[in-house]
Amino acid sequence: MADSSKLPQGFFGYHTASSEAAHSAGKVWWDRNGADYLDEHGDFLGDTDFCWCPEGLRESDAALLGPLDQLASRRVLEIGAGAAQCSRWLAEHGVSVVATDISSTMVAQARLRNDRTGIDFPLQEADARDLPFGDSSFDVVFTAYGALPFVSEHEQIHREAARVLRSDGRWVFSVSHPIRWAFPDVPGEAGLTANRSYFDTTPYIETDDSGNVVYAEHHRTLGDQVRALRRAGFHLVDIVEPEWPSDHTRVWGGWSPLRGKMIPGTAIFVAEKI
Ligand SMILES: C[S@@+](CC[C@H](N)C(=O)[O-])C[C@H]1O[C@@H](n2cnc3c(N)ncnc32)[C@H](O)[C@@H]1O
């Protein structure tokens, strides 16, 4: 067992916490804070809307999973789905989709929205590092900012996506653009001056008063991401870097119109199983 008592109490910042100490942090944090997160961002995300990122890129415009009319005959899996707004949009358009998340709070929030909208599809609690599905059981796997940033074992998630996908199946995920890690995570002017090395992949962590890791977020460089995908058996189709629309005024944490004009906030990786 990791000796998490060696971690500072009430710490937040960059720290090489052991991956064992941080293993359950994502679930702990999202179980405790999922409802507050949705209070803050729920109106932007909607109940039935497939938005890839704070820049507001919609699947209806980008078609990164493939043409919508073709998706209707495919099996689609969302991991780290949160309240499953994206899956609900797909289900509304006749797609056979299963939404999963590690957090029971988030799955309950998704269920509440299924009841509220009357759009029904399977919701399941599942860790993206260990998916409860058979080999080759899906045509498309995706996540919009789910799971990957919150685990040290991101390659395990890529391997699981590859395992449950049929060959030629598509794996699409959005994450913070790697360049953002070199800049302070604030929406104003201070967020425009790099203050960390892009090459420093020390994770951001938070600990509670006992020194347990309760939140962890991980940075991978662009090269790290590409190599991890290749090792898991994917070839890269595209990296989409959505631009900030000139009429988009919404601030989300460190994402803002000011910064969006200058630096990319999101990277969406589109890969296919070899
Ligand atoms: C930023 S939300 C993304 C969900 C949704 N697209 C949204 O924008 O709200 C991140 C989600 O990842 C989930 N998550 C974190 N670690 C996970 C893991 N190991 N397996 C599955 N889901 C995980 C969290 O519970 C949370 O619901």
DSSP structure class, residue 244 = P
Among 131, 145, 152, 159, the mutation site with the greatest number of ligand 1 atoms within 8 A of its Cβ is 145
Q: What ranges do the domains of the chain cover?
A: 19-175+221-273
Its pTM stands at 0.96
Distance 49 CA to ligand 1 centre (A): 16
The superfamily (CATH) of domain 19-175+221-273 is Vaccinia Virus protein VP39 (3.40.50.150)
| Residue 86 reports pLDDT greater than 80 | yes
Among 150, 156, 214, the mutation site with the greatest number of ligand 1 atoms within 8 A of its Cβ is 150
- What's the gap between Cα 162 and its chain centre? 17
Rounded to the nearest 10°, the torsion over CA 16, 191, 154, 270 is -160
Rounded to the nearest 10°, the torsion over CA 164, 113, 62, 149 is -60
Distance 26 CA to ligand 1 centre (A): 8
3-class SS of residue 257: helix
Residues touching ligand 1 (Cβ under 6 Å) are: 26, 30, 45, 79-82, 86, 101-103, 106, 127-129, 144-147, 150-151
Write down the pLDDT at residue 1.
37
Residue whose CA is closest, atom 17 of ligand 1? 147
Atom of ligand 1 nearest to the CA of 103: 25
β-bridge mates for residue 138, sequence order: 165
Task: For tokens 């599905």, name the residue.
Answer: 133
Write down the pLDDT at residue 18.
84
Distance 179 CA to ligand 1 centre (A): 21
Q: What is the mean pLDDT of residues 21-49?
A: 95
Per-residue pLDDT of 94-104, as tens digits, reads 999 999 999 99
Per-residue pLDDT of 173-225, as tens digits, reads 999 999 999 999 999 999 999 999 999 999 999 999 988 999 999 999 999 99
Among 90, 101, 142, 160, the mutation site with the greatest number of ligand 1 atoms within 8 A of its Cβ is 101
pLDDT band (50, 70, 90) for residue 74: very high
